[in-house]
Structure 1
């Protein structure tokens, strides 16, 4: 039978074990990481463009890269394949994830750059150069008719692209931006 006295004893034993473990020496696994190694993984891009690297790209350059590295999953011209469609004129109707595309669901153009740079191509994430990522971002934006076919995307122009659904997001922690 579990009584208050036994519960108190169990809590005392648990506290004693945790105290001893916290005072124990660490296992000395791994090695300290230096600032240069941390910097290579600190690639976050903020909605206002803070963190965007040097480089640039056009939709025409992106079309070539897309055909080579993206179309196998995302289909011809980004219309969808084994992976999600990147180009669509559909409007969101309800909450179906199948209808979410870059044009109707991404709030900031810089998010597209950030995601491509971090996670694409699927089989070799972080393998694209910054110029390739700018070009792919430009291509996707152009195919969605959000920028012109000859517009150049770079650290100055990309944050200025206004996404159609931008105003329909509630920022969870606005004080952190």
Structure 2
């Protein structure tokens, strides 16, 4: 075999391997639309993606006591896990910032989105939409943002003005 033939043979082997890899390893299958819908649950700041349902802080207290209190404490003080309440006025200045729902989060819809997809820690996505709305209302109430009997739903939640709404620099493409 000449040098030229050896090079051509080697290139054929290399390119044949590339072609085989382009097809993938042949593992798994494409996800179905119903499977994708279980994970396609994002909620935007404007409320896009919020499901039907509603709840009040009074109702949310019951959900919180049953599902959240063990990690976040009786009043959201964060024992043993993250603090959910307080921290107002700590984001600027020398002292350490206390980033809570009330002091840091810019949109109430983010509370709903996070609770819905990640809480409770031991059983994420196990709460009903009404329970998530209710516990969201309760957390907003604990932070002094809404009243105890105020109901939140897909129409009212995006309208709630969070204390740190203007505390972030908006993203501008090309900046």
Q: Which has the larger radius of gyration?
A: 2
Residue number in structure 1 paired with 2:107: 108
Residue number in structure 2 paired with 1:5: none
Assess if the C-alpha contact under 8 Å between 2:115 and 2:132 holds in 1.
yes
Q: Gaps spanning 5+ residues in structure 2: where?
A: 1-9
- The CA RMSD measured in Å over matched residues stands at 2.2
Instruction: Provide the C-alpha distance between the structure 2 equivalents of 1:163 and 1:67, rounded to a whole number of angstroms.
Output: 24
Describe the SS at the equivalent of 1:28.
Answer: coil
Residue number in structure 2 paired with 1:75: 73
Q: How does 1:124-143 map to 2 (within 5 A)?
A: 124-143=123-142
Residue number in structure 1 paired with 2:48: 50
41-50 or 26-35, which deviates more = 26-35
Paired residues, number: 160
Describe the SS at the equivalent of 2:145.
Answer: coil
**Comparing both structures, which one devotes a greater share of its residues to helix?**
1
**Superposed displacement of residue 77, structure 1:** 1.3
Residue number in structure 2 paired with 1:23: 19
Instruction: Provide the C-alpha distance between the structure 2 equivalents of 1:34 and 1:168, rounded to a whole number of angstroms.
Output: 40
How far does the alpha carbon of each residue in 1:3-37 deviate from its partner, in whole angstroms, 9 at most, with x for none? xxxxxxxxxx9xx95x5544113221111212121
How far does the alpha carbon of each residue in 1:119-172 deviate from its partner, in whole angstroms, 9 at most, with x for none? 100111111111110000000001111011111010001001000111011233
**1:34 and 2:8 correspond:** no
Q: Gaps spanning 5+ residues in structure 1: where?
A: 1-12
Instruction: Provide the C-alpha distance between the structure 2 equivalents of 1:150 and 1:174, rounded to a whole number of angstroms.
Output: 41
TM-score scaled to structure 2, two decimals?
0.83
Instruction: Provide the C-alpha distance between the structure 2 equivalents of 1:121 and 1:143, rounded to a whole number of angstroms.
Output: 18
Assess if the C-alpha contact under 8 Å between 2:140 and 2:146 holds in 1.
yes
158-167 or 90-99, which deviates more = 90-99
